[in-house]
Amino acid sequence: MKIRLIALAAALLAANSLFAQSGPKDIIPAPVQYEITQGTTRLPQAKDMDIRIGEKKFFSRIKGFGLEDWQVKSAYYLELTPKGLHIEAADQEGFFYAIQSAYMMNFVSPDIQCCKILDWPRFRHRGMMLDVSRNFQPKEFVMKQLDMMALLKMNRFHFHLVDHPGWRIQIDKYPLLTSFSAWRTKNDWQDWIADGQRFLDRKDPAAEGGFYTKKDIADILAYAAARHIEVIPEIEMPGHNYECIAAYPYLSCMDAEGKEHLKRVQELCPGNEQVYEFLQNVLKEVFAMFPSKYIHIGGDEAGKGNWAKCPVCQAKMKAEGLKSVEELQSYLIKRMEKFANDNGKTIIGWDEILEGGLAPNATVMSWRGTEGGHKAIADGHDVIFSPTQCYYLDYMQARDQYRAVGAYQPLKQTYSFEPIDENIAPENVHHVLGVQGNLWTEFVNEQWHAETMLYPRLFAIAETGWSQPEKKDYDAFRTRAMTWNKVLDYLGYCHYDLAPKEKDGN
């Protein structure tokens, strides 16, 4: 197929001349290979765009590199000459990434070195997670970050929609989740905790918060799909569910006498059949909204002390022959996995889902370091690495950073993470789906602050997710990140300021 798309030239925004010249060296993530050719060119003045998708010529160009089918779909060849722009790809996805590379150079400077780029991704999951429970963000903010993800060739947006401090997605069957559990006495998470962790009716003049309607979710999904980004929703269970219990107290455990439901607790009661009915009803509506094959079911940090005392949990453990509260959590996760699988979905869970026995088809998100991921891989499961020590974007970038989780994680540390090491047998490497950065928002209230935590560290994660390991070089990357911080200013994004070089090991 040959498409001539002269109109597309006009769609490539004319950038300010932030720098005298741009070229493939400015692209983040670094391309697999490129060659500089004679002259410079300007995209909007390109006389012609020659776009070829799915032609034999491209397949012969990438032959011999041993690419997997999903890599072939994302691969592209881009050639810029004084006469114009030539793109080859196997699929629309590769064409989209070629355009992102062209955009990237154009934003740095419209005077672009003529070049030839051949490129494809290293990992299939190049993700970013945003916690909109602790701090709600309007859909426009989410879309703005999707724009940057697309430029960085990131393709998975993990939407942390529900958690202890707020439920953020319309579920018709349980209206209190959004008329009550999405609205707080205080917008700021720390203030809310200090104020007694109270929710308010949506109509209360003091109520602060928000949620996404089904229409909002559809808008976000359409926006993401146009950028080849898959949105993976997370519905937490069986911990971090304080907001569900605040709205529907029958979901919590009973006291030791079996008289009353516990109040102000985080964990659902895995002994109670009504909990399964609630979770399945919620998931049915979530599945109807999100086309992703994945559903993230959380699974992290569930305190299990109440389960050991609750007569309903104890009865369930006896009936099912479960020997520990860890096995009780595993029982819940496995039941929910079966429900998800029966509905055509694959579950992802934080690495706690390994405890008490891993659900048979689960993908594990390794966050407490990498050990959980290594164990899951050895057992034949797919894994996404988002280890706290490198990919927790709520950690400090500078020792004097404004409000952050105490641990220190400068850009260099984020960049240093290598997901494939000697702990993974060569025959199991295909179980490494990729990498993901997580922005939790306990300490991140303002939009400028969220962007400052994301950028430029997200650049580093994008590069590890896409670029070949031998292309990684921190000093060269840092130079590009400095360039891109200037582009972020131009595009209206906030970011952490990397200068001067000596500062804080960045």
Catalytic residues: 163, 240, 301
C-alpha triplet 461, 466, 470: angle, nearest 5°: 95
**What is the total count of residues that contact ligand ACM (CB under 6 A)?**
4
User: Which residues have a Cβ under 8 Å from the Cβ of 175 and sit 6 or more positions away?
Assistant: none
Using CB under 6 A as the binding rule, the residues of this chain from 421 to 460 that contact ligand ACM are: none
* Cis peptide bond upstream of 82, omega within 30: no
* 320 touching ligand ACM, by CB under 6 A: no
215 vs 263 by CB, closer to Zn ion: 263
User: Which residues have a Cβ under 8 Å from the Cβ of 47 and sit 6 or more positions away?
Assistant: 83, 84
Among 103, 367, 385, 395, binds ligand ACM (CB under 6 A): 367
15 vs 384 by CB, closer to ligand ACM: 384
Tell me how far, at minimum, the Cβ of 271 lies from Zn ion, in Å. Answer: 4
208 vs 301 by CB, closer to ligand ACM: 301
- The radius of gyration of the chain from alpha carbons, rounded to an integer in Å, stands at 24
Query: How far apart (Å, rounded) are the C-alpha atoms in residues 334 and 332?
Result: 5
141 vs 276 by CB, closer to Zn ion: 276
CB 201 within 8 A of CB 208: no
Pick one of Zn ion, ligand ACM, none as the site partner of residue 34 (Cβ within 5 to 8 A by kind). Answer: none
Diameter of the chain measured on Cα atoms: 82
CA distances from 449 to 25, 60, 143, 391, 482 (A): 29, 46, 17, 17, 19
Pick one of Zn ion, ligand ACM, none as the site partner of residue 253 (Cβ within 5 to 8 A by kind). Answer: Zn ion
Using CB under 6 A as the binding rule, the residues of this chain from 283 to 302 that contact ligand ACM are: 300-301
Residue nearest to ligand ACM (CB): 300
Would you put residue 264 in left (φ > 0), alpha (ψ -120 to 50) or beta? left
Q: What residue ranges bind Zn ion (CB under 5 A)?
A: 253, 269, 271, 310, 312-313
Pick one of ligand ACM, Zn ion, none as the site partner of residue 269 (Cβ within 5 to 8 A by kind). Answer: Zn ion
Q: In the numeric block, which tokens belong to residue 471?
A: 């292309």
Task: Identify any residues that bridge with 261 across adjacent strands, giving them in sequence order.
Answer: 254
In SS3 terms, 170-226 reads as CCCCCCHHHHCCCEECCCCHHHHHHCCCCECCCCCCCCEECCECHHHHHHHHHHHHC
Query: How far apart (Å, rounded) are the C-alpha atoms in residues 160 and 169?
Result: 10
Tell me how far, at minimum, the Cβ of 2 lies from ligand ACM, in Å. Answer: 47
User: Which residues have a Cβ under 8 Å from the Cβ of 488 and sit 6 or more positions away?
Assistant: 451, 455, 456, 494, 495
Question: What stretches of 30-111 adopt beta strand conformation (E)?
Answer: 33-41, 48-53, 76-81, 84-89
Pick one of ligand ACM, Zn ion, none as the site partner of residue 301 (Cβ within 5 to 8 A by kind). Answer: ligand ACM
Pick one of ligand ACM, Zn ion, none as the site partner of residue 465 (Cβ within 5 to 8 A by kind). Answer: none
Pick one of ligand ACM, Zn ion, none as the site partner of residue 300 (Cβ within 5 to 8 A by kind). Answer: ligand ACM
Pick one of ligand ACM, Zn ion, none as the site partner of residue 310 (Cβ within 5 to 8 A by kind). Answer: Zn ion
Query: How far apart (Å, rounded) are the C-alpha atoms in residues 286 and 339?
Result: 13
Tell me how far, at minimum, the Cβ of 316 lies from Zn ion, in Å. Answer: 8
Question: Which among 228, 233, 237, 213 is positioned nearest to 345, based on CA atoms?
Answer: 233
Q: In the numeric block, which tokens belong to residue 195?
A: 């104020």
Tell me how far, at minimum, the Cβ of 269 lies from Zn ion, in Å. Answer: 3
Pick one of Zn ion, ligand ACM, none as the site partner of residue 367 (Cβ within 5 to 8 A by kind). Answer: ligand ACM
Tell me how far, at minimum, the Cβ of 360 lies from ligand ACM, in Å. Answer: 22
For the chain, the first-to-last Cα distance in angstroms comes to: 46
CB 399 within 8 A of CB 416: no
Question: Which among 177, 196, 176 is positioned nearest to 186, based on CA atoms?
Answer: 196
107 vs 391 by CB, closer to ligand ACM: 391
Pick one of Zn ion, ligand ACM, none as the site partner of residue 340 (Cβ within 5 to 8 A by kind). Answer: none
DSSP secondary structure code for residue 79 in this structure: E
223 vs 367 by CB, closer to ligand ACM: 367
Task: Identify any residues that bridge with 346 across adjacent strands, giving them in sequence order.
Answer: 294
Question: Which among 23, 43, 44 is positioned nearest to 34, based on CA atoms?
Answer: 23
Tell me how far, at minimum, the Cβ of 495 lies from ligand ACM, in Å. Answer: 23
Tell me how far, at minimum, the Cβ of 300 lies from ligand ACM, in Å. Answer: 4
* 55 touching ligand ACM, by CB under 6 A: no
* 147 touching ligand ACM, by CB under 6 A: no
Tell me how far, at minimum, the Cβ of 391 lies from ligand ACM, in Å. Answer: 10
236 vs 463 by CB, closer to ligand ACM: 236
Site string for ligand ACM, 332-361 (x = CB under 6 A): ------------------x-----------
234 vs 451 by CB, closer to ligand ACM: 234
Tell me how far, at minimum, the Cβ of 98 lies from ligand ACM, in Å. Answer: 35
CB 374 within 8 A of CB 422: no
Q: In the numeric block, which tokens belong to residue 218?
A: 């559809």
- What residue ranges bind ligand ACM (CB under 6 A)? 300-301, 350, 367
